[in-house]
Structure 1
């Protein structure tokens, strides 16, 4: 059955690295695959990223909803140097995320390297695994520099 060995490897990597998110994702996909619920894969592929980003944004915006961030804070942070730099950072990050999506569509097997790199980042640098799109975007940038051309063949 295609994909099962790779999902088992991802599950084991997630367990060894103590990454619950990788382990749970691999388990869910493995169960769907073994249950012949393959009709779910196109839906997850099309809308899974949006659903994940929705929950990420919900968690990030809770301080706004709780009133911890005031209108005065918002104005200051949009007009101060840190605020302006965060706007630039946000624009750059979304651009890199777009490049990452393109790279993952062109070479979906790159996800294994991104996961291993994320695990190294968690273990070695106490990182948080919320940026696979940005990781793919940075990888696309490295490939663009290495090959001196846009990586979108």
Structure 2
């Protein structure tokens, strides 16, 4: 009963915050539970969902290349800007943080609860985007390793 109450609470938060992503995610999970798909499907989504999400995001980011909207000339022109170099370095750092996040989520699953709660709060209250757990885990992993060096 507790999972249903928790999900219904999140559904209400998503509704109040007018956050479509949270509403859809919670509705899908509730539907999966109600029709009994939660046993096998939840395990698959939990273990592979982040990779599926990253793949979908990667596809979305690559669409302008596939449509010809962005080409080699655009790439070479953009690298003349200092802001493009900042974006390039940021992309590298985020990818490395994401990699560290995967390590942390695999090694310390109890941390997931705090990360998920933080992500839900950011999505529901601040109109954030639910990429937080992976990047948050990467930031946490990096901070934890730095903290360990000073212990």
TM-score > 0.5, shorter chain as reference: yes
Post-superposition CA distance 1:68-107 (Å, at most 9, x none) = 1121122344575434333321121122223434257332
In 2, distance between residues paired with 1:39 and 1:15? 28
Unaligned runs of 5+ in 1: 123-127
Partner of 1:23: 23
Runs (4+) of structure 1 exceeding 6 A deviation are none
Residue 80 to residue 129, structure 1, CA distance change in 2 (3 Å): same
Partner of 1:59: 60
Partner of 1:106: 110
Give the RMSD, CA atoms, in angstroms. 2.8
In 1, distance between residues paired with 2:10 and 2:130? 17
Contact 1:97/1:134, CA 8 A, preserved across alignment: yes
Contact 1:114/1:136, CA 8 A, preserved across alignment: no
In 2, distance between residues paired with 1:141 and 1:49? 17
TM-score, normalisation: structure 2? 0.76
Partner of 1:75: 76
Partner of 1:116: 121
Higher relative contact order (Cα pairs below 8 Å, separated by 6+ residues): 2
Unaligned runs of 5+ in 2: none
TM-score, normalisation: structure 1? 0.75
